[in-house]
Amino acid sequence: MGISGKYYSTGCSVSSGLLPICFCFSFIICFSNSIDIISHTQYIKDPESIVSAGSQFRLGFFSPTNSTDRYVGIWYNNIPEFTVVWVANRQEPLNDSSGTVMIDSNGNLVVLNGRKKVIWSTNVSNTAKSSIAQLSNSGNLILKNGNNNETVWESFLHPSDTFLPTMRLGTALKTGEKQLLTSWEDDSLPLIGRYSASIVPLDIPQIFIWNGSSPHWRSGPWNNRIFIGVPDMHSVYLDGFNLEANPKEGSAYLTFSYVSKPDFMRFVLNSQGKLVEYRWNKKKKRLCDVYGKCGPFGSCNAADSPICSCLKGFTPKSTEEWSMGNWSSGCERRTQLQCQRNSNGFLALKMMKVPDFADWSAADHEKQCKEQCLNNCSCIAYAFDDNIGCMSWSRNLIDLQKFSNGGVDLYIRLAHSELGAGRNDPKAITTTVVLVVVVVVIGTTIMAVFIYFLLRWMATQRGKKKKKRVLLGEASKELSDIDMLEDRIKQGKSIDLPFFYLEELAIATNNFDAANKLGVGGFGSVYKGKLWGGQEIAVKKLSKSSGQGLEEFKNEVVLISKLQHRNLVRLLGCCTHGEEKMLIYEYMANKSLDALLFDPAKRTLLDWKKRFHIIEGVGRGLLYLHRDSRLKIIHRDLKASNILLDKEMNPKISDFGMARIFGGSQDEENTKRVVGTYGYMSPEYAMEGRFSEKSDVFSYGVLLLEIVSGRRNSSFYLHPDPSNLLGHAWKLWNEEKIWELIDPILGERSSQVEILRCIHVGLLCVQEFAKDRPTMSNIVSMLSCEISTLPAPKQPGFIERQISSDGDSSQNNRSVCSLNSISITMTEGR
């Protein structure tokens, strides 16, 4: 047995005479955590994992080749070949993906199966409930006592088959302590195999490999520098090892460290009983050879650590993913480009592998290629090669790589602020000098003319803006003009919201293909899309002719971007491009509530448990808007089609285009512009223009009764009684037949009391006078039975199905109508 450092093309280095062994495993890596600890409150479940602080090692769940069994182990985080260095539950694998790694009540680190049975434990006694387990960047999993931070257990003292730098291999006869390597049963099965390796603390210590209890190989004695039975150590491992021996105590411990920092060096006791050295050889297998390794606008350099970095002027799109060695999301531009020649410049990147998707054009030299790019607003980079000509790029730069030699010069278009005022561009310097001279010569004249026209232009703009100004609410008056809103969105000011490019959304939605259309509203259409990284989105595309849509666009950008709640739909970003205006939301797999609730074929998917979950969730969302958010928001258009359902049937309130912000002490407001949907508006709002949080309560009550009955409020239009759902419910209540309102498919007798309680709450919400209706805080308490005794409801407010068209009426010429649940607004003329 010899230990050598010879390299093989597989990317591994092994001892002479041995075939290279590379472990390949099928596994799932979950980039859900950027922390390196497990505590009593922070645990991981399959397929989650933790990563060491320097991103060198990862601890999680894996399956060996040709096996579905799951093991908890530690492996290298930054090399393509999946290489395990330590396994916890070697003798008792999990048979499914229900495993958990956590700190138990005794302070031990344990692995639990799906039945919560402990299948592996650190099994030490001097722990505390507040203990933590931390994965170090050397690959050592350390368990610390939470009371005094003392190390009570570490994986380096309980190795598997791998000997890592700074790990200790040794024996102490007096205490019985022993750290030994044990082989796997075979190269893809972590079960403890036949072979073990340990230090024998004789007068002159030696390494022995044992086959069971019989000697299989020995290293020869230690001479304070090497084991003399391993001749290759003279040239390869000289000074890399250290052995501390105490013959009187009967102890000897061996450690090794990097001498010249080879890449990921380790020793493995394989299933054939050979102690083999491995190294990852970047020269033989480059990490950067993977297509798009660093994502859009990311550059890969195998000589750097980490290998991926963002181009100058760009920052990681997901800092959390980058910190864990997942660079696929790439980078995003820090300062957006403007389509003026003098506002941008080019940064030269030497010896580069050019990105994919180049456009070719004829050019005789690099300067001509640069001019072509400058004259094209969509050109973001160019490169010139004598034998190819001019290459340019107008989309995300993907698969960039930095070479140590060869390649071509790539020129990246950046804002001058990112270039340091053009210091790297000789032409920019010349232009600056010329401009300074011109300003000095004719400065006075130009300045006078400029100021004159500037003042006239500002006066004109003030007039235009005054005509355009639309009240968005107290918190958003500075954004009430659409031009200023667009400018602020593009410049990243005042609105903490990502900006999407039109091209990006066109690609995501297959150019807004009709097959991807999710629905149509008064504002325009909604399309399903998928971003480059795989995230599914919903794109609300504003109709160019919709005045309501324009108001909604501004309102949602200002309002919903400031709101965060699990029962409110999440706005991911917006897009303005010419006349195109779009809002980008998280995609809801189950679409809107009305699509399920009022469809006879799909309504069966909504059993009472799901319906009550939706009722509670919408209630909590409204309570957040009315009381718990930074801004007091009145939604004004709550209805079934504006309740979206994710894949877990969690409800999300959407469509804040008609919402209004109230001041801290404001309870009510009047408007001459009545907006909303017929059947959901409260009487005082529809008839008098007065709205408050009690208006939303009324809408919530209608929605609650619809959910319980499975019928639209407007479905009684042709009913024998001249009544809507509210009137029908009130009639049944007075006749003590309220159970007849319940959707027939809800056959859960055990839930009947809860269902009847919801009907009672719904009738309290739709009482005619706002002062009689409960607040959302009281409603949530009623639904959770915190308020056990409910008052008797009074007569609901009935909204007539038709509104008189007489020119004179007591309603101050307000008129409201709605067709097919699409909100339509008519504004009083002036």
Catalytic residue numbers read 637
Q: Is 541 marked as binding a ligand?
A: yes
Q: Which residues contact 336 (CB under 8 A, 6 or more apart)?
A: 415, 490, 491, 492, 499
DSSP code at position 514: G
Cβ neighbours of 687 (radius 10 Å): 20
Q: What angle do CA 671, 702, 664 make, to 5 degrees?
A: 45
CA nearest neighbour of 698 among 761, 654, 652, 785: 761
- The runs of H, that is alpha helices, within 713-801 are 725-734, 752-765, 776-783
Place of tokens 């319980």: 708
Token pair in block for residue 94:
């999990």
CB 727 within 8 A of CB 721: yes
- 676 vs 440: CA distance, rounded Å: 61
Q: Which residues contact 748 (CB under 8 A, 6 or more apart)?
A: 607, 608
DSSP 615-678: HHHHHHHHHIIIIISSSEEE-S---GGGEEE-TT--EEE---TT-EEE-TT--EEE-SS--S-T
Q: Write the CA distances from 724 to 581, 683, 685, 706, 819, integer angstroms.
A: 37, 14, 18, 11, 16
Strand ranges (DSSP E) for 241-355?
241-246, 251-256, 266-269, 275-278, 298-300, 308-310, 314-316, 331-333, 344-353
CB 793 within 8 A of CB 733: yes
- 478 vs 742: CA distance, rounded Å: 48
Length of the chain: 830
Q: Which residues contact 436 (CB under 8 A, 6 or more apart)?
A: none
- 500 alpha-carbon distance from chain centroid: 16
CB 287 within 8 A of CB 300: yes
Quick one: angle between helices 426-468 and 482-491, nearest 10? 150
Cβ neighbours of 777 (radius 10 Å): 15
Q: Beta strands 400-402 and 298-300: pairing type?
A: parallel
- 611 vs 648: CA distance, rounded Å: 12
CA nearest neighbour of 298 among 313, 286, 283: 313
Cis bond before residue 306 (omega within 30° of 0) = yes
Token pair in block for residue 62:
């894996």
CA nearest neighbour of 568 among 626, 525, 529, 520: 626
CB 504 within 8 A of CB 378: no
Burial class (CB in 10 A: 0-12, 13-18, 19+), 456: exposed
User: Of all helices (H) and strands (E), which one includes residue 369?
Assistant: helix 366-374
Token pair in block for residue 548:
């309501």
Query: Measured on CA atoms in the order 761, 763, 764, 765, is the torsion positive or negative?
Result: positive
Binding-site residue numbers are 541
Binding-site residue numbers for ATP are 541
